[in-house]
Copies of this chain bind each other. A is one copy, B any other.
Amino acid sequence: MVRRFYASTDAFNGEFAQFLEQERGTGADVAKIVADIIADVRKRGGEAVAEYTAKFDGLQLDPSTLKSDNVDLHALAAECPQDLRDAIDFAHDRIAAYHSAQRPNDHKFTDDAGVELGWRWTALESVGVYVPGGRASYPSSVLMNVVPAKIAGVDRIVMVAPAPKGELSPAVAYAALKAGVEEFYPMGGAQAVAALAYGTSNLAPVDKIVGPGNAFVAEAKRQVFGRVGIDTIAGPSEILVIADHTANPDWVAADLLSQAEHDPSSQSILIVVDEAVGDSVEKAVENQLNSLATGERARESWTNNGAIVVAPDLDAAASIANRIAAEHLELCIEDPDALLPLVRHAGAVFLGHHTPEALGDYVTGSNHVLPTSRAARFSSGLGLYDFLKRMSVQRAGPQGFAAIAPAALRLAEAERLPAHARSISIRTNRDADG
């Protein structure tokens, strides 16, 4: 039996808050280990990276190039079967189309005071994309991270991925080349993040590092933040489904399990108004778990972190959804459009019965790199914006200057910044060539 909450009860608020606070994922103190690795890479460069890679991944890199003859993207990509290439191409084109629509416009206007104002968007020059190895080595993640960078106009996209004992997924290699990766190093962990942030003799440092990774990678990104930009720190996957009597319980169960199967620390939550719907879905989950190859970790996730919440009505369901601020939110209800305006916090929203979250993982075109662990309260999924930045532009001619300078002067004086004040007053006190 999965845990069940009743939103109309007095105890709900407190109990549910405690449930949401529950830490998932590793609690190990990795900060010190990561700090040491970063310091070592800063000091010894490629030598240190090669040593850690040999130790953690069992792969011998050339310390001066950070390459291995045994891991070649082109050779690997050649092993990717044609039907899988077709699916990757299909996903690639849809992701490219969606993100192309995100390009923001530059803006310029002259206000009443005669001051010219605006901003310009420009692309980052270089980005490092971290692609996890092992269980979570996904061609779809390569596309989701690389394609928006490419569309934004990033000049140099560097991909790193650990290749334990030289193993790397051919589909990952194909997706990387399809998306336009031209620089690749088979390395991972904190050492790869450090090499991307600080550079080595061979690898020029990048400006921003994106992509998910394990606890060591996440901590390394946190520690190099400021030196380089980073995307949101990724936690375990989550799905929240709001379902009513029009939902098919088997479909909802499949969707809940599609996130539960990622990792035992993943979280699947169902909100229903009609408790009978919850009963049916719970039964369907049990049935499906028995025939699922990933059933063991899905069951662990569902049992430890899953929940069914019975809400008094759909408005209350939306309000609970906002508290959860889930990475993925499915509205498997009769009229999702009526509920959508009440949804304030979620990474991505899936409307109606034919939009399972897995569709968004691959082919709707929207990005599957989304805020987890309630971060949708304050951050967005990956997008074109992550690879652009906005530069403000302003010009006061003599007239505009005269209109706004007095207030600036008064504030500079109040803030006891005499050189600020002088840079204003020196332009008002006399006529000069300007």
Contact = CB atoms under 8 A, between A and B. Distances in A.
A101 B94 contact: no
Interface in A357-388: 357-367, 370-371, 373, 375-381, 383, 385
Contact of A359 (B229, B248, B336, B424): B424
A396 B354 CA distance: 6
A404 interface: yes
A69 interface: no
Contact of A393 (B123, B124, B351): B351
Contact of A434 (B225, B248, B389): B248
Interface in A78-129: 83-84, 86-88, 90-91, 94, 97-98, 101-102, 104, 107, 109, 111, 113, 115-117, 119-120, 122-125
A385 B378 CA distance: 11
Copies of this chain, count:
2
Interface in A131-189: 138-140, 171
A294 B417 CA distance: 7
Interface residues of A, number: 135
A28 interface: no
A357 B138 CA distance: 47
A171 B391 CA distance: 29
Given A228-B378, A361-B411, 4 more contacts: A117-B366, A222-B222, A255-B423, A359-B408
Nearest to A343: B391
Q: Shortest 9 CB-CB distances between A and B: which pairs? A: A353-B434, A229-B378, A351-B395, A87-B410, A254-B423, A380-B390, A366-B392, A261-B419, A257-B419
B380 A391 contact: yes
A2 interface: no
Interface in A222-270: 222, 225-226, 228-229, 232-233, 235, 246-248, 250-251, 254-255, 257-258, 260-262
A156 to B, nearest CB: 12
A252 to B, nearest CB: 9
A225 B293 CA distance: 36
Contact of A408 (B229, B358, B390, B393): B358
A377 B125 contact: yes
A164 B91 CA distance: 57
B404 A139 contact: no
A292 interface: yes
Contacts of A434: 246-248, 251, 352-354
